[in-house]
Structure 1
Amino acid sequence: MIAVTGASGALGRLVIERLLGTEAPSSIRALARSPEKIADLAARGVEVVEADYDRPETLTPALTGVDRLLLVSSSEVGKRAPQHRAVIEAARAAGVGLIAYTSILNIDSSPMILAEEHRETEAMLAGYPGTVVLLRNGWYLENYFGDVAAALAHGAVAGTSGEGRISAAARSDYADAAAAVLRDPPATSTTHELAGDTGFTRAELAAEIGRQTGREIAFANMGEAEFAALLVKAGLPEGFAAVVADADAAAGKGALYSDSTALSTLAGHPTKTLEAAVREALTAAG
């Protein structure tokens, strides 16, 4: 039995879709806080169960009988460590043999605020009695779709990453890699630094948007506090805006760059290019 947490989220759902291409639906268990949101998966034969990170009593029953678990990191920054601990303890109690965890790229040296809870989770997993696979995911290309919309509206891409290169890949690339690990698990614990095949700067992102739209798109590099204030003005909550600005500043120091080819190797294909991602974002923007 293969289980995936956060199955109603974008990454979890994609992983399950990939697994359905090769595995019997009855061998896949989709865990979600709100099972009704993935009723379509249940209709396809996937076992759908309630599993709420904040309600530990739901977790051990949800993991009983599971051989391999993908722990998709929680989206609730600030609550991740205790939520992840609850899942890991439930997996231990249920005798889950393998946990794959979606961590963050370059965690050993990353200065990002977002990295801290991932470090805490990796430390918890260091004592797990089964096999542990750390999937240290880089940034999603989809994180920059908002930049495309902003460029269309204002003629510029804003950020605070300067000349820092970002090895982003599509969410689907990371899903393919996670599904591959769940299908064919390693014999021993292992760590994968997962990054897009080709890095880019935000200035190169702006240039690519300009090339595809035939417009002059500038890159406005600003200070971290100034960028955070801009994000708040654009509608982000103040705390989250600070986290996003912190991550972009860290990208300027190399935190989101890697020349690792582990992602395309695991996924079995090259990762999505910046050109393809911008084209997709422009299509979505209409």
Structure 2
Amino acid sequence: MNSEKQKLSVLIITLNEEQHIKSLLDDIDFADEIIVVDSCSTDKTVSIVESFKNVKLIRHRFVDYTSQRNFALDQAKNSWILFIDADERLTPELKSEIVTAINSENVASAYFIYRIFMFKNSRLKFSGWQTDKIFRLFDKSKCRYNEERTVHEKLIVNGPIASLKHKIIHFSYSSYEDYKSKMYHYGILKANEKLAKGIKPSFLLQLLHPLYTLLYQFIIRFGFLDGRKGVIICYLNAYSVYIRYKELRTITSSKI
């Protein structure tokens, strides 16, 4: 590996993230390049980003998450990418580990980073989130997001994969209505993804898949140990699956 210090580009895609974006941008001062790709925010997100002189703002129309992420990748100057969402935070230990990882002799092409799911201001310990991990750090010359996936994006990695020890803190749940809206949006995108693959709507799946998701996360993944928080998260995740099939039936019916 080249002995020259590797440079890091941090990429963020945003839509109406005024609640989170300032805290995140304050938190990533260790990056060599910071790019925010905003999809037409109507709140104060853009003005907050513009107040950071070291941050490059690009406005780009949102089609789906994969397209937006791949567009952001193409804007980065550096090979090493840290993709982070506005509602995620890095610990000092994780920042240090990231710098060490990309400058290591045994560097991987991509790194999984585990996440701690925050329910408002407290940690959700179970409900399927206890093993949550995602590709966030990778060499873009060896990676690309799979264009067949429009939500819950899948990174295609050409080369070795490793995991970092320290975790991202994920402030995903701020309120019931906010999280429900997010799950609804994911469900709509998943429906269109299934439609593009030629998958037909099924009343049986519309009934059984959400029920399976609810019971699996609440019982098998120990959601009941999270108490009321677990009930809410497991229900809303199942709700997203229900919306997926409901929307698929709606779209298919309208095309007949």
User: What is the TM-score of this pair, normalised by structure 1?
Assistant: 0.31
Higher helix proportion, which one? 1
Higher strand proportion, which one? 2
